[in-house]
Structure 1
Amino acid sequence: MNTNTRRCFLKNAGLILTSWFLGGCSVQGESFRSNENTDQPNVVLIMTDDQGWGDVHSHGNNKIDTPQMDGLAEEGARFDRFFVSPVSAPTRASLLTGRYHLRTGAHGVTGGRENVRSEEVTLAELFKSNGYKTGCFGKWHNGAHFPNHPNGQGFDEFVGFCAGHWNRYFNTKLEHNGIFFKTEGYITDVLTDFSLSFINKNKQSPFFCYIPYNIPHAPWQVPKKYFTKYKRRDLDDKTACAYGMCENFDDNLGRILNALSKNGLSENTIVLFLSDNGPNSYRYNGNMKGKKGSVHEGGVRVPLFIRWPKKIQSGTIVYENASHIDLLPTLSEMCGLSTEKCFKLDGRSLVPLLRSRNCSWQDRIIFTFPRGPEWSFQGAARTRRWRAVKKKDKWLLFDIHSDPHEDIDVSKHYPEVLKKLSSEYTKLYKEMAEEGFKPLPISVGYPSWDEVELPAHEATLEGEGIAYKGKNGWAHDWIADWTSVNSFAVWDIDVVESGSFKAEVKYICSRDNTGCKIKISAGNCAVQTEINEAFDPEPFPHRDLLPRKEVYDMPWKQVTVGTLNLSKGRQKLKVLPLAIKGREFIELKALLLKRID
Structure 2
Amino acid sequence: MLLHREPLLIFILSLFCCMGCDQPVQQQASNPPNVVIFLSDDQGWGDLSHSGNTNLHTPNIDRLAQNGLSFERFYVEPVCSPTRAELLTGRYHLRGGVSGTSAGEERLDLDETTFVELFQEAGYATAAFGKWHNGMQHPYHPNARGFDYFYGFCSGHWGDYFSPPLEENGKLVKGEGYLVDDLTNKALEFIEDQREAPFLVYLPYNTPHSPMQVPDQWWDKFEAKELEMVLPEEQNEDLQFTKAALAMCENIDWNVGRVMGKLEELGLEENTIVIYLSDNGPNSLRWNGGMKGRKGSTDEGGVRSPFFMQWPGRLPAGKSIPQIAGAIDLLPTLMDLTGINASVNRPLDGKSLVPLMLEDNPLWEDRMIFSHWNGNTSVRTQRYRLDSEGRLYDMEADPGQSSDIAAEYPEIARQLGLAKTDWDEEMAAEFDGNARPFTLGYPEATYTQMPARDAEPHGNIKRSNRFPNDSFFTNWSSTQDSITWDVEVIEAGEFSVEVYYTCSEKNLGSRIQLSVGGDQVQAKVKKAHDPPLRGMENDRVERMESYVKDFKPMPMGRIKLEKGRSKLVLKALEIPGDQVMDLRLLLFKRIN
TM-score (norm 2): 0.91
| 1:180-199 → structure 2 map (5 Å cutoff) | 180-199=172-191
Q: Distance in 2 between matches of 1:249 and 1:318?
A: 24
> CA separation of 1:531/1:314 partners in 2, compared to 1, >3 Å: closer, same or farther?
same
Over the matched positions of the two proteins, sequence identity in percent amounts to 42
> Where do residues 101-116 of structure 1 align in structure 2 (5 Å cutoff)?
101-116=93-108
Change (3 A) 1:479 1:181: closer
Is the partner of 1:347 in helix, strand or coil? coil
Shift in Å, 1:287 = 0.3
CA distance in 2, matches of 1:85, 1:438: 22
Q: C-alpha deviations, 1:425-448, integer Å up to 9, x for none?
A: 333333333553334332222333
SS at match of 1:159: strand
Could you list the runs of 5+ residues in structure 2 that have no partner in the other structure?
228-238
Counterpart CA distance in 1 for 2:395 and 2:133 is 32
2:290 aligned with 1:287:
yes
**Which residue among 362, 367, 387 is the counterpart of 2:365?**
362
Query: Structure 2 residue aligned with 1:98, among 74, 90, 100?
Result: 90
Distance 2:62 2:265 in 1: 20
Q: Aligned equivalents of 2:9 and 2:298: distance in 1? A: 39
Amino acid in structure 1 at the alignment position of 2:486: D
Deviates more, 1:38-47 or 1:414-423: 414-423
Equivalent of residue 206 in structure 1, options 189, 198, 201: 198
1:36-63 CA distances to partner (integer Å, 9 max, x unpaired)? x632111111111111100111211111
Give the secondary-structure state (helix, strand or coil) at the position aligned to 1:267. Answer: helix
The answer for the alignment partner of 1:380 in structure 2 is 378
Instruction: Check conservation: 1:19, 1:27, Cα contact below 8 A.
Output: no
2:456 is matched with 460
Indicate if the aligned counterparts of 2:13 and 2:32 stay in contact, CA closer than 8 A.
Answer: no
Letter matched to residue 299 of structure 2? H
- Show the 5 A alignment for 1:343-358: 343-358=346-361
Tell me, in whole angstroms, the C-alpha distance in 1 between the residues paired with 2:386 and 2:442: 45
Residues 72-109 of structure 1, C-alpha deviations (whole Å, 9 max, x = no match): 10111111100001111111111011111111222221
Structure 1 443/185 Cα, relative in aligned 2: closer, same or farther at 3 Å? same
**Contact kept? 2:18, 2:24, Cα under 8 Å:** no
More displaced stretch, 307-316 vs 535-544: 535-544
The one-letter amino acid paired with 1:133 is: A
Cα 1:592–1:387, aligned 2, differ >3 Å: closer, same or farther? same
Instruction: State which drifts further: 576-585 or 194-203.
Output: 576-585
Q: How big is the shift at 1:261?
A: 1.7
Which secondary structure state, in structure 1, belongs to the residue aligned with residue 254 of structure 2?
A: helix
Residues 466 and 479 of structure 1 are in contact (CA less than 8 Å); yes or no, is this contact kept in structure 2? yes
2:231 alignment partner in structure 1: none
Q: Which moved more, 1:189-198 or 1:434-443?
A: 434-443
How far off its partner does 1:455 sit?
0.3
Q: Which residue pairs with 1:55 in the alignment?
A: 47
TM-superposed deviation, 1:484: 5.2
Deviates more, 1:107-116 or 1:42-51: 107-116
Partners of 1:442 and 1:177 in 2: CA distance: 18
Q: Which residue of 297, 310, 324 maps to 1:321?
A: 324
Alignment of 1:21-36 (within 5 A): 22=19, 25-31=20-26, 34-35=27-28
The residue aligned with 2:115 is 123
**2:442 alignment counterpart:** 446
Give the TM-score taking structure 1 as reference length: 0.90
Are the equivalent residues in 2 in contact too, given 1:96–1:328 (CA < 8 A)?
A: yes
- The one-letter amino acid of 1:214's match is N
Counterparts in 2 of 1:354 and 1:208: CA distance versus 1, 3 Å? same
Matched, 1:340 2:380: no
3-state SS, counterpart of residue 250 of structure 1: helix
CA RMSD of aligned residues (A): 2.7
Structure 1 residue aligned with 2:243: 240
SS in 1 for 2:72: strand
Aligned residue type for 1:546 = V
Q: Deviations over 1:215-253 (max 9, x none)?
A: 111121112122121234314322221111111111111
Corresponding residue SS for 1:493: strand
Measure the CA separation in 2 of the matches of 1:107 and 1:285.
Answer: 26
The alpha carbon displacement at 1:125 in A equals: 0.8
Distance across 2 between alignment mates of 1:12 and 1:211: 28
- Structure 1 residues 594 and 135: CA distance shift in structure 2, 3 A: closer
Q: Which amino acid aligns with 2:495?
A: F
Partner of 1:506: 500
Contact preservation (8 Å) 1:105, 1:438: no
Aligned counterparts, 1:81-92, within 5 A:
81-92=73-84
Alignment match, 1:175: 167
Structure 2 CA distance for partners of 1:13 and 1:362, relative to 1, 3 Å: farther
Query: 1:396 touches 1:411 (CA, 8 Å); kept in 2?
Result: yes
CA distance in 1, matches of 2:175, 2:491: 35
How big is each residue's C-alpha offset from its partner over 1:155-211, in whole Å with a ceiling of 9 and x where there is no partner?
112222211122222233432222233343322222222212211222222111111
Q: Distance in 2 between matches of 1:71 and 1:590?
A: 42
**Which letter maps to 2:571?**
L
Counterparts of 1:80 and 1:133, CA distance in 2: 31
Which of 518, 526, 539 in structure 2 is aligned with 1:544?
A: 539
User: Residue in 2 aligned with 1:136?
Assistant: 128
Structural mapping, 1:6-45, within 5 Å: 18=15, 22=19, 25-31=20-26, 34-35=27-28, 38-45=30-37
Give the structure 1 partner of residue 427 of structure 2: 432
Instruction: Give the unaligned 5+ runs of structure 1.
Output: none
Q: 2-side partners of 1:257 and 1:199: how far apart? A: 11
